[in-house]
Amino acid sequence: MIAMQYKIPLPVDYEMSIIRQRVQTNGHRTDGFRYLALKAYLISEKGKYGNFSNLYAPFYLWNDHDGMNEFLLNGPYDAILHSFGWQHVNIGIPLNIQIKHNFSQARWAVEITGRIPQTTSLNGFGAKLIEQLPKTQDAIGEALIYNPDKWGFSRFAFYEQLPEKWSDEAQRLTQLNAYPSFEVTIYEVIHVSQ
């Protein structure tokens, strides 16, 4: 599997209903896309849930690199290029994936990103990271991704209802000595393709 996301920053006064309408009109185009395990169409809005900016940030989980290549290099991604210009596409290696059968009901996503600190050994790092991140008992999907090119990680937890105590989890994470720098972004999921 391969994870992929591009985060398109939008102006602070951008009318996010434009993105909602775009996804309502075009989101079905990735339903059943070859080798796509899932695509969550994500948006964040400045000032809501502690978010600092307006973002359009679709998250993909590919079963095979052929699907990602088809999407990026054979036409579908051109719609992003034409509407938003050249974007940096983040690629990650799944470390832990848990997707429940009702994933299509996801309406919220909480992303925690952080850096993987320089160390003399990465032996057991994955298990340690999973143990120290906030638990996601009510999540209907979870994807923990790392990128050894940038030595960073992202953990996406997907929910039908946004957990009331997400800020408590973020507070707990800030107290972990091993991962002092991180960001939490709360996204609304406006469409799911599988």
pLDDT digit of tens for each residue in the chain (194 aa)? 999 999 999 999 999 999 999 999 999 999 999 999 999 999 999 988 888 899 999 999 999 999 999 999 999 999 999 999 999 999 999 999 999 999 999 999 999 999 998 999 999 999 999 988 888 888 999 999 999 999 999 999 999 998 876 655 554 554 554 444 678 899 999 999 99
**What three-state secondary structure class fits 79?**
helix
What does the pLDDT read at residue 48?
87
What is d(CA 42, CA 48) in angstroms, rounded to the nearest whole number? 14
Q: Which two tokens stand for residue 68?
A: 């990602």
CA dihedral over 161, 169, 144, 22, signed as positive or negative: positive
Domains and CATH numbers, the chain: 2-193 (3.30.70.100)
**What three-state secondary structure class fits 25?**
helix
Q: Which two tokens stand for residue 179?
A: 């991962």
Q: Which two tokens stand for residue 26?
A: 């075009």
The dihedral over CA atoms of 98, 126, 7, 63, expressed in degrees to the nearest 10, equals -50
Helices (H), 74-124: 78-84
Contact criterion met (CB below 8 Å) for 1 and 92? no
Q: Which of 186, 179, 173, 158 is nearest to 61 (CA)?
A: 158
Q: Which of 37, 33, 27, 77 is nearest to 61 (CA)?
A: 37
CA distance readout (Å), 126 to 51, 98, 120, 132: 27, 15, 15, 10
Q: Which of 50, 79, 57, 76 is nearest to 9 (CA)?
A: 57
What does the pLDDT read at residue 181?
64
